[in-house]
Chains A and B, each alone.
Chain A
């Protein structure tokens, strides 16, 4: 019997746990997915948060939909959906954002998104093939974040981007779900990424997360998690891991979303490394990862603490992984997304 759908239904439900902290006004929650197609990559994210704009009524909420498509260049948008068009079902995975929806039924995530601002539509079923990993109350800024990650799924469906139609069949996919209390602009940064092998038959999947202060001088959270087939088999943590960023990714054009933020943060330079080497060692077990950044887009969020911005670099790249785990050789080449928050 396949337990994964039951585990997902029980663990990946919408929390809306605003009152679980003394700062309900800082609440945020989102569902995030990445799809790695043969010739296209997709990132989409449905988020709800307390609206902390200066003129927002106390207790009001804000919903955002992000859809980014990368097929040589980037397209997509960040769209605010009026709250009256939002339908949420806490305890379930069933969200309606206007005409867009995400739900989990019959063992699969069902997603339908159509941007009104760009000619992009996405209709997918996404089947989880690995068990999730959950983390509670990880420190972030002055608050805490809970997360659940499903490192590997398979996506089927259709993406239409302008005049291009991409039919996705068993495309590798990744999902995480985050909820917690903090403010954009507080003293934190993260590097968060996943890698999936190019060959579907390769059993390994991995997720890396590193949360630091904004200056990246103090590490608050550092983990490298490895799955074999559907099971989590190893977590390396903190002192077992060293990271070595090399160089900087240089691009003549840095797409920024929402587009208006290009006026506020027009810089073409980033502090995204050209490559990130991660070495994990614990006794006889060791794993070496090299993420080579290939292309990036920036999501730019207005800070809630001041009039500045937080930039999330969404970076697509190639992964080389090799090592030894419980006497078994681990090795694969693959693709993934890393986020570098600055």
Chain B
């Protein structure tokens, strides 16, 4: 059984992972909510439609970017290849930010909260059964194959 369709969109991956987090590690899900309550986040993954996330006290909701709060300035911009390089430690977070492969945009205080929330998402993720499977499916769909393998 697959969690994701064959070529998942960013929205489908984020939706599935948040659902898994809420079901399998609610403590982490709740912590993310409490860190970012009242904020919107715009996520831009290379080559895909941007998506929005709204954080409320008990819930994280996906929404179209045109519904994001006008004042919201939190934005995460990257590519799936960068995410996989980070997951497999081919790239460090620091280098990803320095080299512009991962942009976190917002005011400094907001960025600290966003970083803490990303850490909490990962800390919850490593405690779930679903995340490794989701990552495998994502890897199969998104990882750039070396030329020799094509």
Instruction: Kindly list chain B residues whose C-beta atoms are within 8 Å of the C-beta of A80.
Output: 132
- B residues 109-140 near A (Cβ < 8 Å) are 119-120, 122-124, 126-129, 132
Q: Mind listing 24 A-B residue pairs with CB under 8 Å? A: A54-B24, A54-B26, A54-B27, A54-B127, A55-B23, A55-B25, A55-B128, A55-B129, A56-B129, A255-B89, A256-B89, A260-B89, A260-B122, A260-B126, A262-B92, A263-B87, A263-B93, A264-B123, A264-B126, A266-B93, A266-B94, A307-B28, A307-B120, A307-B127
The one of B31, B87, B92, B94 in contact with A260, judged by C-beta atoms closer than 8 angstroms, is B87
Q: How far is the CB of B126 from chain A (nearest CB, A)?
A: 5
Given known pairs A259-B89, A302-B126, A307-B124, the reply for A264 and B27 (CB within 8 Å) is no
Classify the interface of chain B: helix, strand, loop or mixed.
helix
Q: Are B128 and A307 in contact (CB under 8 A)?
A: no
Per-position 1/0 for B31-58, Cβ under 8 A of A? 1000000000000000000000000000
Cα distance, A302 to B123, chains bound together (Å): 8
Per-position 1/0 for B73-94, Cβ under 8 A of A? 0000000000000111100111
Q: How far is the CB of A219 from chain B (nearest CB, A)?
A: 31
Cα distance, A264 to B87, chains bound together (Å): 10
Q: Are B24 and A55 in contact (CB under 8 A)?
A: yes
Q: Are B127 and A53 in contact (CB under 8 A)?
A: yes
What total of A-B pairs shows CB separation below 8 Å?
Answer: 53
Q: How far is the CB of B83 from chain A (nearest CB, A)?
A: 10
Given known pairs A54-B27, A55-B129, A307-B31, the reply for A266 and B122 (CB within 8 Å) is no
Cα distance, A262 to B89, chains bound together (Å): 7
Given known pairs A53-B128, A55-B23, A55-B24, the reply for A264 and B119 (CB within 8 Å) is yes
The answer to whether the Cβ of A133 comes within 8 Å of any Cβ in the partner chain is no
Q: Are B129 and A53 in contact (CB under 8 A)?
A: yes
Q: How far is the CB of B29 from chain A (nearest CB, A)?
A: 11
The answer to whether the Cβ of A261 comes within 8 Å of any Cβ in the partner chain is yes
On chain B, the number of residues with a Cβ less than 8 Å from chain A's Cβ atoms is 24
Cα distance, A263 to B126, chains bound together (Å): 11
Cα distance, A323 to B148, chains bound together (Å): 59
Q: Which residues of A contact B (CB under 8 A)?
A: 53-56, 80, 255-256, 259-264, 266, 302, 307-309
Instruction: Kindly list chain A residues whose C-beta atoms are within 8 Å of the C-beta of B87.
Output: 259-260, 263
Instruction: Kindly list chain B residues whose C-beta atoms are within 8 Å of the C-beta of A56.
Output: 129
Cα distance, A174 to B94, chains bound together (Å): 37
Q: How far is the CB of A143 from chain B (nearest CB, A)?
A: 21
Cα distance, A264 to B25, chains bound together (Å): 16
Instruction: Kindly list chain B residues whose C-beta atoms are within 8 Å of the C-beta of A302.
Output: 123, 126-127
Q: How far is the CB of B113 from chain A (nearest CB, A)?
A: 16
Instruction: Kindly list chain A residues whose C-beta atoms are within 8 Å of the C-beta of B128.
Output: 53, 55
Q: How far is the CB of A118 from chain B (nearest CB, A)?
A: 11
Q: How far is the CB of A67 from chain B (nearest CB, A)?
A: 16
Q: Are A259 and B123 in contact (CB under 8 A)?
A: no
Q: How far is the CB of A106 from chain B (nearest CB, A)?
A: 38
Q: How far is the CB of B139 from chain A (nearest CB, A)?
A: 11
Chain B residue nearest to A307 (CB atoms) is B123
Instruction: Kindly list chain B residues whose C-beta atoms are within 8 Å of the C-beta of A309.
Output: 123
Known A-B contacts: A53-B128, A261-B126, A307-B28. Give 9 more (CB < 8 A): A54-B25, A54-B127, A55-B23, A259-B89, A260-B88, A260-B122, A264-B122, A307-B31, A307-B123
Instruction: Kindly list chain A residues whose C-beta atoms are within 8 Å of the C-beta of B119.
Output: 264
Instruction: Kindly list chain A residues whose C-beta atoms are within 8 Å of the C-beta of B129.
Output: 53, 55-56
Cα distance, A148 to B12, chains bound together (Å): 49
Cα distance, A309 to B126, chains bound together (Å): 11
Chain B residue nearest to A262 (CB atoms) is B89
Cα distance, A259 to B128, chains bound together (Å): 16
Instruction: Kindly list chain B residues whose C-beta atoms are within 8 Å of the C-beta of A54.
Output: 24-27, 127
Chain B residue nearest to A53 (CB atoms) is B127
Cα distance, A264 to B120, chains bound together (Å): 9
Q: How far is the CB of A62 from chain B (nearest CB, A)?
A: 11
